[in-house]
């Protein structure tokens, strides 16, 4: 066989040459922008040539600070195809963390959305390696800014070469991108993606038994493009020529629902809080979302009640995926095996609400106190992964040694596996609740609470307890219509039949909103911190 290098160049070339008429739809600050893959290819090459004229060399990190839109998609290919490294920065990080990661990655150029300029202006004097800022805006003139030197993205593209030829000698193991992931404490940790890893991941994303993305699809990544490659959807979509819909700045559920309806989106992807918000939007307004052939949900456990609402009320199949920034990200996905389709609705729902089975191409172990756990759905252990799109270290970071041991990524997730090989995540190690020496899964309790018809969102965390070490406390947001009518006891009674008595939360605290992380997951750390003394007085 040829020693063919698996790089992003051939992915881009396939998209632009074989699907020149297919569309990319992008919501920007000034409205909807539409163009074809042919035009996309030309603008992407213009961007590469403009970056080359700014002196960008192979291996150099070029950062983006942007929402999901067509310019970001251009950067997704323009930067890696010329041999540079696409560093997507999480726009919701604190100023200190933004400054840390830009300096740590040694980014040389920063592409930034106009509406996000104030965030970068706050830290620009600490960014020691940036030698040019490029502002992405729909307006003809550049806004007033303290950043220097500063260029207009559109003007750079005008001067760029639409036929810029990409090098053919890029090694498949060369870095193509990087993304920082939050750490429990301390600075974020950098994950570097290789061309080969993204190439193989994109291939697996298109397999019928994983997500099955295809040319027929109209894809909409709601998951931000700064978070774990928007789960790889832009890469696979370009390769297969799928129509893409990019939802732009600060999309609300109403904006997302309008886009699904108008553009006939078939596959949209987001974290559970996004899908909960969309369910609420569906209850409040009239939308036709029958174009959706699947809802892809990952990043945190999907509550059973929500899966049921999509599958049974709205008739939309639900694909539950598991992954991490360190895993490019797809590692596990929930698809029914052929003989499981005849199971009862309830049994199917139980399978759907587990994370699923390992995707082809990866290897997995679940290791408990006595080595690999039994496949009995009971014995818990830590999930370990390895494979061609699993990171092997954190970028220049001594914390690598904690997570990468003997060639395996230690995920920090506690899981069980049943005789079918279906993985169920019990909890993150740090979120498991330790009560009187026994473990309680916060995920199981919150999923049960979110199945109550009056509950919009619920998060359960372990709060220090003088006698039991920790006890669960539930934080609940009720649906607007139930705010006055539902009391704590009703929710505890609802849980009573489902769990052992010692699993029941010691308290239920009603909130207006549950704090969320920068990527929309429940921020348990902040609840733990804020309520750390909550149970002290109750134990006398």
Nearer to ligand ADP, 258 or 393 (CB): 393
CA distance to 26, 221, 478, 513, per residue, from 15 (Å): 17, 18, 45, 42
Q: Select from 66, 425, 426, 449 the one that contacts ligand ADP (CB under 6 A).
A: 425
Q: What angle do CA 18, 233, 323 make, to 5 degrees?
A: 145
Applying CB under 6 A, does 445 fall inside the site for ligand ADP? Answer: no
If one counts every other C-beta atom within 10 angstroms of the C-beta of residue 127, the result is 18
Establish whether 275 is a catalytic residue: no
Applying CB under 6 A, does 504 fall inside the site for ligand ADP? Answer: no
Among 13-21, 126-134, 293-301, 387-395, which window interacts with ligand ADP (CB under 6 A)?
A: 293-301
Among 114-122, 200-208, 298-306, 432-440, which window interacts with ligand ADP (CB under 6 A)?
A: 298-306
Applying CB under 6 A, does 322 fall inside the site for ligand ADP? Answer: yes
CA distance to 25, 114, 186, 243, 474, per residue, from 35 (Å): 7, 21, 42, 10, 47
DSSP string, 261-284: HHHT-SEEEE-HHHHHHHHHHHHH
Instruction: Give the shortest CB-323-to-ligand ADP separation in angstroms.
Output: 6
- Residue with CB nearest ligand ADP? 325
Q: What gap in Å lies between CA 403 and CA 483, rounded to an integer?
A: 43
Instruction: Give the shortest CB-390-to-ligand ADP separation in angstroms.
Output: 12
Q: Select from 301, 319, 364, 440 the one that contacts ligand ADP (CB under 6 A).
A: 301
Applying CB under 6 A, does 182 fall inside the site for ligand ADP? Answer: yes
Applying CB under 6 A, does 355 fall inside the site for ligand ADP? Answer: yes
Instruction: Give the shortest CB-516-to-ligand ADP separation in angstroms.
Output: 11
Catalytic residue among 439, 487, 490, 529: 439
Report whether 119 contacts 65 (CB < 8 A): yes
DSSP-H helix ranges across 193-241? 195-205, 233-240
Establish whether 487 is a catalytic residue: no
Establish whether 434 is a catalytic residue: yes
Catalytic residue among 28, 44, 181, 266: 181
Instruction: Give the shortest CB-521-to-ligand ADP separation in angstroms.
Output: 5
Applying CB under 6 A, does 381 fall inside the site for ligand ADP? Answer: no
Assign residue 356 a region: left if phi > 0, alpha if psi is -120 to 50, beta otherwise? Answer: left
Which residue pairs from 418-421 have beta carbons closer than 8 angstroms and sit at least 24 positions apart in sequence?
Answer: 418/375, 418/376, 418/377, 419/375, 419/376, 419/377, 420/337, 420/340, 420/357, 421/357, 421/358, 421/375
Catalytic residue among 280, 308, 434, 488: 434
Q: Select from 70, 71, 320, 352 the one that contacts ligand ADP (CB under 6 A).
A: 320
Nearer to ligand ADP, 230 or 474 (CB): 230
Q: What gap in Å lies between CA 241 and CA 68, rounded to an integer?
A: 18
Q: What gap in Å lies between CA 365 and CA 384, rounded to an integer?
A: 5
If one counts every other C-beta atom within 10 angstroms of the C-beta of residue 216, the result is 13
Nearer to ligand ADP, 305 or 321 (CB): 321
Establish whether 280 is a catalytic residue: no
Binding mask 118-137 for ligand ADP (x = CB under 6 A): --------------------
Nearer to ligand ADP, 478 or 527 (CB): 527
Nearest residue to 238 (alpha-carbon basis) of 256, 222, 217, 259: 217
- H/E/C letters for each residue in 373-392? CCCCCCCCEEEEEECCCCCC
Applying CB under 6 A, does 299 fall inside the site for ligand ADP? Answer: yes
Site for ligand ADP in 214-243 (CB under 6 A): 228
β-bridge mates for residue 434, sequence order:
439
Among 69-77, 205-213, 237-245, 316-324, which window interacts with ligand ADP (CB under 6 A)?
A: 316-324
Applying CB under 6 A, does 298 fall inside the site for ligand ADP? Answer: yes
Instruction: Give the shortest CB-146-to-ligand ADP separation in angstroms.
Output: 30
Nearest residue to 121 (alpha-carbon basis) of 95, 142, 139: 95
Q: What gap in Å lies between CA 106 and CA 364, rounded to an integer?
A: 33
Applying CB under 6 A, does 91 fall inside the site for ligand ADP? Answer: no
In this structure, what DSSP letter does residue 122 have? H
Among 70-78, 209-217, 396-404, 408-416, which window interacts with ligand ADP (CB under 6 A)?
A: 408-416
Instruction: Give the shortest CB-228-to-ligand ADP separation in angstroms.
Output: 6
3-state helix, strand, coil in the chain (%, to 5): 35, 25, 40
Active site amino acids? 181, 326, 434, 439
Site of interaction with ligand ADP (CB under 6 A): 181-182, 228, 298-301, 320-325, 355, 411-413, 425, 428, 517, 519, 521
């Amino acid at each position: 066989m040829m020693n063919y290098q698996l790089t992003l160049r051939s992915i881009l070339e396939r998209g632009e040459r074989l699907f020149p008429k297919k569309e990319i739809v992008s919501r920007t600050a000034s409205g909807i922008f539409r163009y074809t893959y042919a035009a996309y290819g030309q603008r992407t090459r213009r961007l590469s040539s403009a970056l080359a004229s700014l002196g960008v060399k192979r291996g150099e990190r070029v950062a983006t600070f942007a929402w999901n839109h067509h310019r970001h998609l251009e950067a997704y290919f323009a930067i890696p195809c010329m041999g540079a490294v696409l560093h997507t920065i999480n726009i919701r990080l604190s100023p200190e963390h933004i400054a840390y990661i830009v300096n740590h990655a040694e980014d040389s150029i920063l592409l930034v959305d106009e509406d996000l300029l104030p965030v970068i202006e706050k830290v620009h004097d600490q960014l020691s390696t940036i030698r040019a800022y490029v502002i992405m805006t729909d307006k003809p003139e550049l806004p007033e800014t303290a950043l220097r030197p500063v260029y207009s993205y559109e003007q750079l593209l005008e001067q760029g070469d639409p036929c810029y030829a990409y090098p053919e000698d890029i090694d498949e193991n060369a870095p193509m991108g990087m993304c920082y992931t939050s750490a429990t404490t301390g600075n974020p940790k950098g994950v570097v993606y290789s061309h080969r890893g993204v190439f193989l991941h994109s291939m697996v994303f298109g397999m019928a038994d994983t997500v099955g993305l295809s040319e027929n699809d109209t894809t909409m990544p709601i998951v931000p493009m700064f978070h774990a490659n928007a789960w790889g959807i832009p890469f696979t979509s370009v390769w297969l020529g799928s129509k893409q819909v990019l939802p732009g700045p600060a999309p609300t559920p109403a904006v997302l629902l309008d886009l699904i309806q108008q553009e006939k989106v078939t596959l949209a992807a987001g974290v559970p809080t996004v899908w909960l918000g969309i369910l609420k939007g569906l209850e409040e307004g009239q939308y036709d979302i029958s174009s959706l052939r699947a809802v892809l949900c990952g990043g945190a456990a999907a509550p059973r009640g929500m899966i049921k609402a999509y599958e049974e009320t709205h008739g939309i199949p639900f694909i539950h995926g598991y992954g991490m920034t360190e895993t490019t990200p797809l590692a596990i996905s929930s698809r029914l095996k052929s003989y499981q389709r005849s199971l009862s609705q309830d049994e199917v729902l139980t399978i759907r609400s587990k994370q699923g089975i390992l995707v082809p191409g990866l290897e997995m172990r679940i290791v408990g106190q006595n080595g690999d756990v039994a496949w009995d759905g009971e014995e818990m252990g830590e999930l370990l992964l390895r494979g061609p799109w699993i990171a092997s270290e954190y970028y220049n970071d001594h914390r690598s040694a904690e997570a990468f041991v003997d060639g395996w990524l230690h995920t920090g997730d506690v899981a069980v596996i049943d005789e079918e090989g279906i993985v169920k995540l019990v909890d993150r190690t740090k979120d498991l609740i330790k009560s009187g020496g026994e473990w309680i899964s916060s995920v199981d309790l919150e999923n049960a609470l979110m199945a109550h018809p009056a509950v919009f969102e619920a998060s359960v965390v372990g709060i220090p307890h003088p006698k039991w070490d920790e006890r669960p406390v539930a934080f609940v947001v009720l649906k607007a219509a139930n705010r006055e009518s539902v009391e704590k006891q009703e929710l505890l009674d609802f849980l009573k039949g489902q769990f052992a008595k010692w699993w029941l939360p010691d308290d239920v605290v009603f909130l207006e909103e549950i704090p969320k992380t920068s990527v929309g997951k429940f921020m348990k750390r902040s609840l733990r911190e804020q309520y750390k003394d909550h149970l002290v007085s109750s134990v006398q």
